[in-house]
């Protein structure tokens, strides 16, 4: 395989412009520039014979379960928080802090 600069220079004409055939041009250019095929026609045949790649699965932020919707997530979180809160020491003054600590335990330590 040629060095990176030579490969990049070789790929420039295949990467410019848009259109419906962009993926095919890019694929055939990669085959020609990497030396996997000797001609552009041969590279085109290789690219057309390959099945299309499936799109990657996107990852979500945080610790969410992929099968739960927002309502289910909140119900699970509320159930956990209810178990964490010590009601014998709960007062109106420490309620917000106690609730925040319980939610943090439930959401951050799963």
| Helix and strand element counts for the chain (H, E) | 5, 0
User: Which residues touch 89 (CB under 8 Å, ≥6 apart)?
Assistant: 98
Distance CA 4, CA 33 (A): 10
* Domain boundaries defined on the chain: 4-49, 70-108
pLDDT band of residue 101 (cuts 50, 70, 90) is confident
Residues 58, 62, 64, CA angle at the centre, nearest 5°? 80
Compute the mean pLDDT over every residue in the chain, rounded to the nearest whole number.
83
pLDDT band of residue 28 (cuts 50, 70, 90) is very high
pLDDT value of position 71: 79
């Amino acid at each position: 395989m040629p060095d990176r600069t030579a490969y990049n220079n070789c790929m420039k004409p295949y990467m410019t412009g848009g259109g419906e055939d962009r993926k095919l041009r890019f694929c055939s250019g990669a085959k020609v520039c990497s030396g996997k095929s000797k001609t552009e026609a041969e590279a085109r045949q290789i690219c057309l014979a390959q099945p299309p790649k499936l799109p990657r699965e996107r990852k979500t932020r945080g610790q969410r379960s992929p099968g739960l919707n927002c309502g289910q997530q909140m119900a699970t979180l509320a159930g956990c928080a209810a178990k964490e809160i010590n009601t014998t020491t709960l007062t109106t003054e420490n309620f917000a802090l106690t609730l925040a600590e319980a939610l943090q335990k439930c959401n951050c330590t799963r």
